[in-house]
Amino acid sequence: MQILKGAPVAAAIRDEIKKELEGCETKPCLAIVRVGEKQEDLSYERSALKRMSGVGIETKLFVFPADISMDDFSAEFAAINDDPTIDGILLFRPLPAQLNESQIVESIAPEKDVDGISSAALGKLFSGDKHAFAPCTAQAVMEIIHFYGIEPQGKRAVVLGRSLVVGKPLSMLLLNENATVTICHSRTASLPEVCREADILVTAIGKAKWVDERFVSEKTIVIDVGINVDENGMLCGDVNFGQIEDKVFMATPVPGGVGAVTTAVLAKHVLEAAKGRRALNSKGGKNGLSAD
């Protein structure tokens, strides 16, 4: 079995970004918006800050107290949205209950929605627009598929999970590349049998080591999106890797698979947003980022 590691995929994306930004005076800028101090937000934030600075993308961090009112947060968010120096916005969710999350999400300027969370971004993606920003995790799966030379066209893809963050957008990305896609969820009957038919099996259910040898065959390419903690407190995916590793064609590990690629995709989206917003190639510089 071939192990599909995320690190080389992320490194290739980062190298490409660094090359594009070489010699540019004006750097793309990502706003990171956090409400409260949740551990998972803080950990993703640390990794995003490190990755952005590593490729030459600026960041502005906006942190608000967990009890901020909707009026105050709306006003602050509108100012971030309108700030011409900001190219992309990463908003940590879920927001606290007193904030109307869908109203905030729908207010994100489409050209700054680098994590593809608004209906406008998802609508573009679902209508097959190649310039849509897909949610970074869904796009990270596609980057792995492309990097390792896997051709989705004509393949049977089964996506386990139907969330708007991973399962549904990923299904559209695979469909846009001419895979034959089946979306499964908690009410799917005969799940192991359906999954066993897959050439590409993507798991995004959030259940530690839940997918076992019954779900795979020797032709399966397994892409595990899950990030879970097992009974020993160790990070693990949705797939019981030990059970499937000798029985499949290819598989991503957890940790070290999809999760390693997500922030590289975020950086790529911020660069694309900056290029789109600043009318590139019009004013000097290799890609227009030298002048506003």
Q: Which residues are annotated as part of the binding site?
A: 161-163, 227
Q: Does 195 bind ligand NAP (CB under 6 A)?
A: no
Site residues (CB under 6 A) for ligand NAP, limited to 131-170: 137, 160-163, 165-167
Give the nearest distance from C-beta 282 to ligand NAP in angstroms.
Answer: 35
Give the nearest distance from C-beta 266 to ligand NAP in angstroms.
Answer: 10
Residue 138 in 3-state DSSP?
A: helix
Select 21 or 264, whichever has its Cβ closest to ligand NAP.
Answer: 264
Look up residue 191 and give its two tokens: 């799940």
Q: Which of 91, 205, 244, 273 binds ligand NAP (CB under 6 A)?
A: 205
Residues placed in the known binding site for NADP(+): 161-163, 227
Cα–Cα distance, 81 to 112 (Å, whole number): 8
Q: Does 259 bind ligand NAP (CB under 6 A)?
A: yes
Select 146 or 207, whichever has its Cβ closest to ligand NAP.
Answer: 207
Give the nearest distance from C-beta 21 to ligand NAP in angstroms.
Answer: 24
209-214: list long-range contacts, CB under 8 Å, 24+ apart: 209/236, 209/237, 209/238, 209/239, 209/240, 209/241, 210/238, 210/239, 210/240, 211/160, 211/238, 211/239, 211/240, 211/244, 212/239, 212/240, 212/243, 212/244, 213/240, 213/243, 213/244, 213/247
The mark string for 50-89 relative to ligand NAP (x by CB under 6 A, - otherwise) is ----------------------------------------
Task: Classify the phi-psi angles of 224: left when phi > 0, otherwise alpha if psi is within -120 to 50, otherwise beta.
Answer: beta
Q: Which of 59, 118, 252, 262 binds ligand NAP (CB under 6 A)?
A: 262
The mark string for 218-237 relative to ligand NAP (x by CB under 6 A, - otherwise) is -------xxxx---------
Task: Classify the phi-psi angles of 227: left when phi > 0, otherwise alpha if psi is within -120 to 50, otherwise beta.
Answer: beta
Q: Does 5 bind ligand NAP (CB under 6 A)?
A: no
Q: Which of 43, 119, 178, 186 binds ligand NAP (CB under 6 A)?
A: 186
> What is the size of the binding site for ligand NAP (CB under 6 A)?
23
CB 60 within 8 A of CB 66: no
Q: Does 204 bind ligand NAP (CB under 6 A)?
A: yes
| DSSP assignments along 12-79, one per residue | HHHHHHHHHHTT-SSPPEEEEEEES--HHHHHHHHHHHHHHHHHT-EEEEEEE-TT--HHHHHHHHHH
Select 84 or 94, whichever has its Cβ closest to ligand NAP.
Answer: 94
- Which residues are at the interface with ligand NAP (CB under 6 A)? 137, 160-163, 165-167, 184-187, 204-207, 225-228, 258-259, 262
